[in-house]
Amino acid sequence: MQRTLFICKPDCVQRRLVGEVIRRFESKGLRLVALKLMTVSRALAEKHYAEHAGKPFFEGLIQFITATPVVVGVLEGNEAISVLRGLMGPTNGAAAPPGTIRGDFGLSRQNNLIHGSDSAESAAREIALWFTPTELLDYQLADEHYVSGGE
């Protein structure tokens, strides 16, 4: 079982697509471990996107992500990190295939609705950045065996 961080970015919240996006996570079999609606401070945004500091799109990205609220959460499941990346699709909405979140709902490279951790290291770092340990809930769902079980 893996944990991964997702963010429904400001464009996702503004366009009332949060429910649609989380429905896709649940339908796939991922389990919510944490969830909150919040406005992102500049300090948190800069830490979250530290690897992009200095790039031409960095300032615009920080402005975008701090402008209006986001919904941030943690998902758990078998191969959750790559499964979430697959559900999201590639960065640029215009190039993202239909069937993915970015492919179905947007055309922008910046306003691409959703963030998902891209590796186990990023997931651990990002979960610790956005949530306290007590906000991460440990519980099971009744259908877990059917969704993730077997070989």
Cite the annotated binding site by residue number: 9, 57, 85, 91, 102, 112
Contact letters (x/-) for ligand UDP, 63-102, by CB under 6 A? ----------------------------x-----------
Contact letters (x/-) for ligand UDP, 19-38, by CB under 6 A? --------------------
Q: Where are the alpha helices (DSSP H) in 1-105?
A: 10-14, 18-28, 42-48, 58-67, 80-88, 101-105
Using the minimum distance from each CB to ligand UDP, give the nearer residue, 41 or 137.
Answer: 41
- Helix H or strand E segment including 98: none
Binding residue count for ligand UDP, defined by CB under 6 A: 8
One of 101, 106, 115, 123 touching ligand UDP (CB under 6 A): 115
CA 30 to chain centre: 12
How big is the CA angle at 112 (ends 48 and 32), to the nearest 5 degrees? 65
Joined tokens for residue 8:
């429904």
Binding segment for ligand UDP (CB under 6 A), chosen from 37-45, 70-78, 110-118, 131-139, is: 110-118
Burial 131-150 (b: 16+ CB within 10 A, else e): beeeeeeeeeeeeeeeebee
Cite the beta strand spans of 28-138 per DSSP E. 31-38, 70-77, 114-116
Annotation: binding site for ATP: 9, 57, 85, 91, 102, 112
Active site residues: 115
Contact letters (x/-) for ligand UDP, 118-137, by CB under 6 A? x-------------------
What three-state secondary structure class fits 115?
strand
Residues of the shown chain interacting with ligand UDP in the complex, contacts defined by CB under 6 A:
57, 61, 91, 109-110, 112, 115, 118
